Structure formats: structure tokens, C-alpha cells
Homo-oligomer: A and B are copies of this chain.
Amino acid sequence: MTKERNLYIKKLKFIFIIHMGRELYKFNQYLNESGLRATRQRGIIAKTFFEAGPHISVEELYHQVVEKDRRIGLVTVYRTLKLLRGAGLAQGRQFGDNHTRYEKTPGDSHHDHLICTRCGRILEFENDTIEGLQRKVAEEVGFAVLDHKLELYGICKECRSRGKKAGRKAPPTLS
């Protein structure tokens, strides 16, 4: 049991350590290793983030955080998300709208996205054949691929069967 973990127990009264997921623990570890401090705010924000659905926007996360602690500011949410990125625990993504969305770094494999431009729904998919072809294309021009982004924009199953009626969310604008 590490020093950091003990500190957390002392501060947050045991219950917390029982429920602290691996990700939250890793975040704590990262903070310590980096000489950063494990603050109440960071704990709440990270915990909320890890328990939230995928592709949460900063604003959405902020709203959920504020429900737990009214005093936490939006700035600290931004700052903590940046730390989570630094820790390799979160990834920021920009879909069509003008809001960065965050998701937990997927355990092993990479995935891409299908975005419904009518209702905003985001589906994930994985396709190794595509990934392989991407690598091949890059190789052909001498490119060393470090990262990639594949997004399919269109109308989801639900929206299609619902016909032309308006969806639930604002549709993102494509440039």
C-alpha cells in the first residue's frame, strides 16, 4: 500500500478507498510522481469524469461536478482535464460542433466514431482492416503515423426510422 493511497484514506474516510477505481488511483499516482497535489477539487472532478458517460463535454462535466460541490469552478475542470490528458487517462476529441469532448483513454485498442448529425449520438467502432490499410497508405509515402482520426458523419438508425422529425440535440455543423 503506497504512501499516496494512505493519504487518500486519511483524508476521505476509508469509504472512498474502497470505491476508488484503478483510474482514480492512477491519477493520484501521476500527481504524486509529478510533484502535483491531490486536491479535493481534482479528486471530485476526476471521479466524476471516470463515472460519466463517454464523450462528455467540458460543460457537461462541469455541471455534474458542480452538483457535488458548488464551489468548484469551470477553470479547475479545464485544468484537471488537461492533467488527466497528461496522465494519459483522458483524450480530448473534437467532433463537428465547437466543443471539446473527453473520454477515458481506452484500455488497449483504438476506436473510431460515427456521429449522427441529427441527434448528436456518437457510436464507436473498431476495424483492424481499416487500421492496417491506413498504415499501408502512410508507408507508401514514407509517413510514420503517430495518431489518426476517423469520423463518419451521418444519420443514425433511430433518426432514420423516425423520419424527418427533429432530433433531441442540436446538430453539429460541418465545415
Contacts and interface: CB of A to CB of B under 8 A. Distances in A.
A141 B123 contact: yes
A116 to B, nearest CB: 8
Contacts of A174: 147
A160 interface: yes
Copies in the complex: 2
Interface in A69-108: 85, 91-94, 100
A153 interface: yes
Interface string A117-148: 10000010101011001100110011111111
A94 B151 CA distance: 13
Nearest to A90: B175
Contacts of A160: 142, 144
A44 interface: no
A141 B117 contact: no
B175 A94 contact: yes
A145 B149 contact: no
A114 B130 CA distance: 15
A85 B175 contact: yes
Interface string A157-175: 1001000000000000011
Contacts of A138: 114, 152, 154
Interface of A: 85, 91-94, 100, 114, 116-117, 123, 125, 127, 129-130, 133-134, 137-138, 141-157, 160, 174-175
